[in-house]
Amino acid sequence: MKLLTHNMLTSHVKGVTKGYPLLIKATEVKVSEVEFNPQFVSRMIPKLEWSALVQAAEEVGHLNDLPTELLPDYENNEEFLRKVHRVLLEVEVLEGSLRCPESGREFPISRGIPNMLLNEDEA
Amino acid sequence: MTVCCQFTVTMGATVPTGFEHCAAEEVREKLGAEAKISKDRGRIYFQMSSDSLPLVHQLRSVDNLFVVVKEYVDYQFKDSKEETLKDLQDLASKLPWTNPLEVWKLNNVLKKRRWRRRGANVSRPNPSSDGAKEGTQEGAADTETQSLEAEPEQPGRVEEDYEDNQGQQDKGSAETGAEGTPGVLKFRVTCNRAGDKHSFTSNEAARDFGGAVQEFFQWKADMTKFDVEVLLNIHNNEVVIGVALTEESLHRRNISHFGPTTLRSTLAYGMLRLCKPQVSDVIIDPMCGTGAIPLEGALEWKHSYYLAGDNNDQAVNRTVNNVAHIHRKRQEKGCGPWGLPIDTVQWNLCRLPLKTASVDIIITDMPFGKRMGSKKRNWDLYPSCLREMARVCRPGTGKAVLLTQDKKCFAKALSRMGGLWRKSHTVWVNIGGLHAGVYLLKRVASAFGETPEDTDERRDPRGAETAGEEKEEN
């Protein structure tokens, strides 16, 4: 699971209103190499929840020096964009779980795949 | 690539029916050539220089490629079968074979170099050894046995130079005679015939024409282990003779782990082209099966982000395996960052674990009543699908590209969603003999939860009876 995916995932257990962001517990993380495209990153940033991204990066131990607040004029800051690129696309959780912040329900992550299926009574 | 002289040659390509224009566009983009769309559906023709051959193999919308030896736009068939077949036999020695066969030879050289570069991968004797390494689960193992045959040519994406690797095994007997070494070439003739005014069958034409070809070249006929495949395509009065350049169809190129209804990569490519992925577009396939569509997207339109999802264990595992396989191949080639912008999630399509309005494009192959699922289930599935897809899709700018064979059910479900989805375009395709539709939908610029359709699921559909029938468009 890449952190970009995590930024879009939300808990949809019945009755839950604050199912975002899911809390990450990672037991195995890997870093891959994905081609850097500055346009991709700068256009993706407005679609993200920045604080959730920072929190996720911290939870998997890859916060490094990613700023907690978005830098102004980030579109032209290549160094910054590269850091964001790494966190969004290259850091992957292979094993672990995602926890709903409201209900505590855990969704397992195995082989990089989060299993978001609900049971009958949760749907 | 050293060629003593380059010449112009006419190429033919088979493409998924309905996507001829898409393929023509790709030819224009990548080769700078204008393609002609044949009246024989699913075929396009274009001219190119013989040294553009490597470029041709980068086409993603093409199933099979061949070099045209001769094209007759209005062939005059004689009235009797005997005379017609005699004419075909006489034709064999009069055709301009030289240049097309030259291209065939060049193509073999290209193929040989690609196989050599693959090295050990080619001669793997036990097809399931791959599975053992990856530690795949029980479910995925049943498809592993297909992986060796299904390993596609992948002639595309070869950007680097064609240096021969020392000490690698040659592919096998097919290469004999290909580079001018002594040895009799083996061939076969494949005839496709369509039209109701012919006095002969495709088998008869193939047999007689083949006999004459054999006489002329002194080649040896072999139905299974052939070096040269001669094509005789007859569509009413249009006759095209060609030499095939692709052995296996290119349409399974990305998939090494198959599922029951894996979509052709060429069809996936055509669907993706329809929705024109933009930079930073979030593109999901909520019923991804083996991941054919998102994987094709991640390879061709890397500037977007792909989420493959399915509720089925086997499906998500196969998707992950297919992605891992492509990653490994890219790592082996060693040209730069090998990772692709694609991820996999296990989810229920009717309850997507995604934030509202977070997705730009939804693209998927919806279950056909006959091959997967059932007509009754589709009846219930399609409306909830469309509604949930509308929720996650960005209003105004969002799009959906949906392939389905169950046109009646789909049309009915869509008719109740006017406040959420607007039909933009439909392409009619042929999937293994079944007629299906690819629907391009635009997400209406209304926030979810505000239109009557999405707040009351049990509302009686207006005009339900008229929604079923839909005229063929396009």
Tell me the average pLDDT across B383-407.
Answer: 93
Mutate: best of A2, A6, A31, A47, partner B, most B CBs <10 A: A47
- Asked whether residue B363 carries a pLDDT value surpassing 60, the answer given is yes
Q: Are strands B8-14 and B43-49 parallel, antiparallel or unpaired?
A: antiparallel
C-alpha B292/C-alpha B315 separation (Å) is 11
Extract the tokens encoding B335: 């040209």
C-alpha A40/C-alpha B360 separation (Å) is 14
**Look-up: residue for tokens 């789909």?**
B410
Question: Do B353 and A116 meet the contact criterion of CB atoms below 8 Å apart?
Answer: yes
**pLDDT given at position B264:** 81
**pLDDT given at position B143:** 27
- Comparing B334-343, B420-429, B455-464, the range with the smallest average pLDDT is B455-464
**pLDDT given at position B161:** 23
Tell me which amino acid residue B361 is: I
Q: How confident is the model at residue B180 (pLDDT cuts 50, 70, 90)?
A: very low
What does the angle CA B427 – CA B419 – CA A14 come to, to the nearest 5 degrees? 105
Q: Which chain A residue has its CA at the smallest distance from B349's CA? A: A117
Tell me the average pLDDT across B75-100.
Answer: 92
Query: Considering only CB atoms, which chain B residues are within 8 Å of A112?
Result: 320, 343-344
Question: Do A107 and A24 meet the contact criterion of CB atoms below 8 Å apart?
Answer: no
Question: How close A51 gets to chain B, by Cα (Å)?
Answer: 15
B315 touching A (Cβ < 8 Å): no
Interface touch B353/A1, C-beta < 8 Å: no
Q: Which residue has the higher pLDDT, B156 or B267?
A: B267
B347 touching A (Cβ < 8 Å): yes
Interface touch A5/B317, C-beta < 8 Å: no
Question: Do B290 and B322 meet the contact criterion of CB atoms below 8 Å apart?
Answer: yes
Q: How confident is the model at residue B153 (pLDDT cuts 50, 70, 90)?
A: very low
Buried b (16+ CB within 10 A) or exposed e, B184-195: ebbbbbbbbbee
Buried b (16+ CB within 10 A) or exposed e, A32-64: eebeebbebbbbbbebbebebbbbbbebbebee
Query: Considering only CB atoms, which chain A residues are within 8 Å of B359?
Result: 8
B298 touching A (Cβ < 8 Å): no
Nearest to B232 by CA among B255, B204, B268: B204
**pLDDT given at position A114:** 98
Residue B284: strand, helix, or coil? strand
- Asked whether residue B117 carries a pLDDT value surpassing 90, the answer given is no
Which of A22-31, B196-205, B460-469 holds the top average pLDDT? A22-31
**pLDDT given at position B463:** 34
- Asked whether residue B92 carries a pLDDT value surpassing 50, the answer given is yes
Interface touch B311/A117, C-beta < 8 Å: yes
CB atoms within 10 A of CB B395: 16
C-alpha A44/C-alpha B155 separation (Å) is 33
Q: Which chain B residue has its CA at the smallest distance from A1's CA? A: B343
C-alpha B389/C-alpha B374 separation (Å) is 21
B180 touching A (Cβ < 8 Å): no
**pLDDT given at position A12:** 87
Q: How confident is the model at residue B378 (pLDDT cuts 50, 70, 90)?
A: low
DSSP state, B263? P
Query: Considering only CB atoms, which chain A residues are within 8 Å of B339?
Result: 32-35, 89-90
Mutate: best of B305, B311, B319, B394, partner A, most A CBs <10 A: B305
Question: How close A113 gets to chain B, by Cα (Å)?
Answer: 5
Tell me which amino acid residue A93 is: V
Question: Do B348 and B172 meet the contact criterion of CB atoms below 8 Å apart?
Answer: no
Tell me the average pLDDT across B376-388.
Answer: 81
For B377, phi and psi rounded to 5 degrees? -65, -35
Interface touch B279/A34, C-beta < 8 Å: no
B352 touching A (Cβ < 8 Å): yes
C-alpha A81/C-alpha A75 separation (Å) is 8
Q: Which residue has the higher pLDDT, B453 or A95?
A: A95
Non-local CB neighbours of B253 within 8 Å, separated by 6+ positions: B152, B153, B154, B156, B265
Query: Considering only CB atoms, which chain B residues are within 8 Å of A47?
Result: 280, 282, 358
**Distance set, CA B429 to CA B17, B234, B389 (Å):** 5, 21, 23
What does the angle CA A32 – CA A33 – CA A39 come to, to the nearest 5 degrees? 125
How many residue contacts between A and B have a Cβ separation below 8 Å? Answer: 88
For B443, phi and psi rounded to 5 degrees? -80, 120
Interface touch A118/B348, C-beta < 8 Å: yes
Question: Do B51 and B5 meet the contact criterion of CB atoms below 8 Å apart?
Answer: no
Q: How confident is the model at residue B253 (pLDDT cuts 50, 70, 90)?
A: low
Query: Considering only CB atoms, which chain B residues are within 8 Å of A8?
Result: 282, 307, 354-355, 358-359
Tell me which amino acid residue B82 is: E
Question: Do B134 and B324 meet the contact criterion of CB atoms below 8 Å apart?
Answer: yes
**pLDDT given at position B408:** 86
Per-residue pLDDT of chain A in tens (123 residues, 90 and over written 9) = 999 999 999 998 888 888 999 999 999 999 999 999 999 999 999 999 999 999 999 999 999 989 999 988 999 999 999 999 999 999 999 999 999 999 999 999 999 999 999 988 887
Nearest to B82 by CA among B231, B200, B253, B241: B200
**pLDDT given at position B261:** 60
Tell me the average pLDDT across B137-147.
Answer: 28
- Asked whether residue B155 carries a pLDDT value surpassing 90, the answer given is no
- Comparing B307-321, B350-364, B377-391, the range with the smallest average pLDDT is B377-391
Tell me which amino acid residue A58 is: E
In this prediction the pTM is: 0.78
Interface touch B305/A12, C-beta < 8 Å: no
Q: What is the pLDDT of residues B11-40, one digit of tens each?
A: 999 898 889 999 999 999 999 999 998 876
CA atoms within 13 A on the CB side of B184: 12
**pLDDT given at position B131:** 31
Q: How confident is the model at residue B45 (pLDDT cuts 50, 70, 90)?
A: very high
Q: How confident is the model at residue B125 (pLDDT cuts 50, 70, 90)?
A: very low
Q: How confident is the model at residue B194 (pLDDT cuts 50, 70, 90)?
A: confident
Give, for B443, the enclosing helix (H) or strand (E): strand B434-443
Predicted ipTM > 0.90: yes
Q: How confident is the model at residue B58 (pLDDT cuts 50, 70, 90)?
A: confident
Q: Which residue has the higher pLDDT, B245 or B430?
A: B245
Query: Considering only CB atoms, which chain B residues are within 8 Å of A33?
Result: 337-339
